[in-house]
Amino acid sequence: MVTHGFCGVGVVICRERTSAGLATARARGRVGGRPPKMTAKKIKQAKLMRDNGMSQTEIAEILGVGRTTLYRHLK
């Protein structure tokens, strides 16, 4: 029963360390997460291709992104 109390303390310490590490990284200008696949340049290029009559499947293949990603940025 006593060990259960220690486990709870370990979780709290881990959470605090994680939060402190993320705050430190943000202070240094580091941002977490996955980088976006579609840049502003790719979005502009995709819109031009779509206006010229290309299918969205072809555009996605040429730009190296999935169709869902392309649809999300062209709505």
The predicted model gives 41-63 an average pLDDT of: 95
67 touches 56 (CB < 8 A):
yes
* Average pLDDT score, the chain: 89
What predicted TM-score, i.e. pTM, was given to this entire model? 0.59
Cβ distance 37 to 69 under 8 Å? yes
Higher pLDDT, 25 or 4: 25
Q: Identify whether the C-beta of residue 58 lies closer than 8 Å to the C-beta of residue 67.
A: no
